[in-house]
Amino acid sequence: MTIEIDSKITDSEWEVMRVVWAQDKATSKEIREILQQKMDWKPSTTKTFIGRLVKKGMLDTQTEGKKYIYSANINESEFIKSTLNETFENICNKDVGHTIVDLISKATLSFKDIDMLEKALEMKKKDAVEEVPCNCIPGQCKCNIHDVH
């Protein structure tokens, strides 16, 4: 069975998801208790966010007696990947390179991370192009403006 997931979530909903991802399964009380140190939510507020996530297909509900137990329908790394993909789809192809450089410059990286990056870059060299073509419609990026002399 495939579940239709609406992965457009708010920052508050993301806070809830991080707890569920880390705990595997959690009740709304457990979620609220963990988030207490960060968010000052009432039980009803927590339940509202959980309800929205269930509606979006992000969370699955199981009952155990009177208790509702929540688990994630999508794993965290898959979710991050699709969120990043969506963001990059909104960037002109020409700007993707320096956006990645920007991300790398700001990140704290281990030697192992850098090793992985170097390997990935080495692979990318094999199919690098002289110039990345713009993929935007005229008027949604600066490329066309620069092209007109």
Which residues contact Zn ion (rule: CB under 5 A)?
A: 92, 134, 136, 141, 143
| CA-wise closest residue to 72 among 55, 57, 85 | 57
Q: How far is the CB of 96 from Zn ion (least distance, A)?
A: 10
73/93 with CB nearer Zn ion: 93
Instruction: Report how far apart, in Å, the C-alpha atoms of 52 and of each of 73, 117, 140 are.
Output: 14, 37, 33
Q: How far is the CB of 41 from Zn ion (least distance, A)?
A: 41
65/133 with CB nearer Zn ion: 133
Cβ atoms of 39 and 90 closer than 8 Å: no
81/146 with CB nearer Zn ion: 146
Q: How far is the CB of 47 from Zn ion (least distance, A)?
A: 44
What single letter denotes the amino acid at residue 67? K
